[in-house]
Amino acid sequence: MGKLVIFSVAIAAFSVLLGERLLNMSKRYLAFREVGNQHLPNCVALKNIEHGSEDITILGNGLAFISSGLNYPGLPPSDEPGKIFLLDVKGPQLKPVELRISRNFDLESFNPHGISVFTDPSDDTVYLFVVNHPQFGSQIEIFKYVEEGASLVHLKTIKHELLHSVNDITAVGVESFFATNDHYFSNNLLKTLEILLLMPWTNVVYYSPNEVKVVSEGYHFANGINMSPDQRHIYVANIFNHSVEVLERKEDNTLTPVKSVPVGSLCDNIEVDSETGDLWLGCHINAKKLFLFDPKDPPGSEVIRIQNILSDQPVITQVYTDDGHVLMGSSVAAVYGEKLLIGTVFHKALCCDLK
Ligand SMILES: *[C@@H]1O[C@H](CO)[C@@H](O)[C@H](O)[C@H]1NC(C)=O
Ligand SMILES: *[C@@H]1O[C@H](CO)[C@@H](O)[C@H](O)[C@H]1NC(C)=O
């Protein structure tokens, strides 16, 4: 009899714990969040982009790089190999062209994720950094962009044990960058467990040819990363904490936390307007809908802008939302003048007018 009581109590306790865990998880996933539509004028889908546009970054001259074809565990797969597109946002026809990639690079296994551009101040050479997951591994590719023939010349692959689950990068030199790891474990089974537990175990790594080090940690799945125009602050999307972390970059490239800005959404990539310093975030409304993908109840899209992030009162504005019937799973938002590009993990990309 006694044993049965103890057993029942144990089961009850376990159920409470499991229930609490599920409740915690649904809070982290914003599993019950629904948002209405708040559209922008003149949105058109970019031609040629059907298999995602996970990350987008726009140069000062209006040329946008777009990474497409990401395969990420747990999300709808792309049956096309990865590609990098280039779009002239100033141009009359919004038609991205696929950049040719030099022959020394394995295109078959190309699985591009976060991207970042570094323009060398000494000769204006444009370097494109791409997080790549061939066979679900993790490495960084550095390409040189060549305008004639719209191509990318592959220069280097960077692998390092600290760069084990890279999601996004922000380049700070010809061969140096900050990177986010979105998992703590490298083993696939443990990774799956991790996405259910969502512990604050992930980090930011600084990489240069001379030094590689963890410079910040304690993130609930560190996601997008970018830098202020004066290069003194680093911004990290702490996606399952529904916040953006602001860090100060020291001389030795260590980072010290400045503040955490709650955004109430699951923000993915961060783009920074080079003129205003505003942050533009592509966010997920509800992670349950993203992971348990159902085309009849699709995951939506949300774009958030943060102005004056370093001030005491940052202004957070929801600029665009869609319930998923126009655009599913937005992961990035980038502005050029009055144009806003919105990219997605596995769906299309839109170009909208801000006014
Ligand atoms: C649920 O979240 C609360 C507050 O964040 C935490 O104290 C608690 O340990 C969590 N419970 C479980 C079972 O993870
Ligand atoms: C989560 O976000 C809140 C609000 O922005 C912040 O106070 C807290 O430090 C963050 N937690 C972690 C682990 O980053």
- Domain CATH code at residue 274: 2.120.10.30
Q: Is 71 in the pocket of ligand 2 (CB under 6 A)?
A: no
> For this structure, is 113 an active site residue?
yes
Ligand 2, closest atom to CA 262?
A: 5
Give the per-residue pLDDT at 1. 58
- Residue 16 confidence (pLDDT): 85
Question: What pLDDT is stored for residue 188 in this prediction?
Answer: 81
Among protein residues, the one whose CA lies closest to atom 1 of ligand 1 = 24
Residues 225 and 292 in one domain: yes
- My answer on whether 330 and 305 are in the same domain is yes
Tally of domains within the chain: 2
**Whole-number Å distance between alpha carbons of 89 and 138:** 30
The stretch 264-275 carries a mean pLDDT of 97
Does residue 350 have a pLDDT over 70?
yes
Binding residues are: 54-55, 115, 167-168, 223, 268-269
C-alpha of residue 265 to centroid of ligand 2, in Å: 13
Question: Would the CB of 260 count as within 6 Å of ligand 2?
Answer: yes
Cα 197 to ligand 1 centroid, rounded to whole Å: 10
Please indicate, yes or no, whether residues 19 and 61 belong to a single structural domain of this protein.
no
Contacts of 143 (CB under 8 A, 6+ apart): 101, 127, 128, 129, 130, 152, 153, 154, 155
Alpha helix (H) ranges present in 248-317? Answer: 287-291
**Does the beta carbon of 238 lie inside 6 Å of ligand 2?**
yes
Residue at 36 is within a domain = no
Mean pLDDT of 88-113: 95
Is 200 a pocket residue for ligand 2 (Cβ < 6 Å)? yes
User: For the residues 319-339, what does the mean pLDDT come to?
Assistant: 98
Domain extent for 114:
41-353
Mean pLDDT on 325-342 = 98
φ, ψ for residue 266 (rounded to 5)?
-100, 85
Q: Are 109 and 135 in contact (CB under 8 A)?
A: yes
Q: Is residue 51 part of a domain?
A: yes
CA 27 to ligand 2 centroid distance, Å: 14
Are 257 and 299 found together in one domain?
Answer: yes
Ligand 2 pocket, mutate which of 235, 239, 241 (most atoms under 8 A from CB): 241
